[in-house]
């Protein structure tokens, strides 16, 4: 597993980041990237299966799904995710 800091940027506040998040403390699962939308701000940067361990310098390991979503929404046009990715 490799730890990666990924900086994402988008043009408009209303534009979606383009990824689907799953898991959280309330589900007793690691926060994970489930799906990445093509041609989105995160396309080519995030991968399905990435474990999200940090959101904008906050430790995401203990966050509920809703808390993680709120941190992402509050990030404006710049989002930093720290992910663990399986290396081959």
Are residues 24 and 65 in contact, defined by beta-carbon separation less than 8 angstroms?
yes
Residue 40: DSSP 8-state: S
Q: Which of 47, 59, 28, 60 is nearest to 88 (CA)?
A: 47
Distances (CA, A) of 20 to 4, 34, 35, 80, 88: 18, 5, 5, 16, 23
pTM: 0.94
If one counts the domains in the chain, the total is: 1
Q: Which domain holds residue 13?
A: 2-85
pLDDT in tens, 8-66: 999 988 899 999 999 999 999 999 999 999 999 999 999 999 999 999 999 999 999 99
Question: Is the separation of the CB atoms in 30 and 82 below 8 Å?
Answer: no
Read off the CATH number of the domain in which 66 is found.
2.30.42.10
């Amino acid at each position: 597993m490799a730890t990666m800091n990924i900086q994402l940027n988008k043009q408009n506040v209303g534009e979606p980041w383009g990824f689907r998040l799953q898991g959280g403390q309330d589900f007793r699962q690691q926060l994970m990237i489930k799906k990445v939308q093509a041609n989105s701000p995160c396309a080519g940067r995030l991968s399905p299966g990435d474990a999200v361990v940090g959101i904008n310098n906050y430790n995401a390991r203990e966050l509920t799904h809703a808390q993680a979503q709120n941190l992402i929404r509050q990030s404006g046009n710049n989002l930093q995710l720290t992910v663990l990715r399986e290396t081959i």
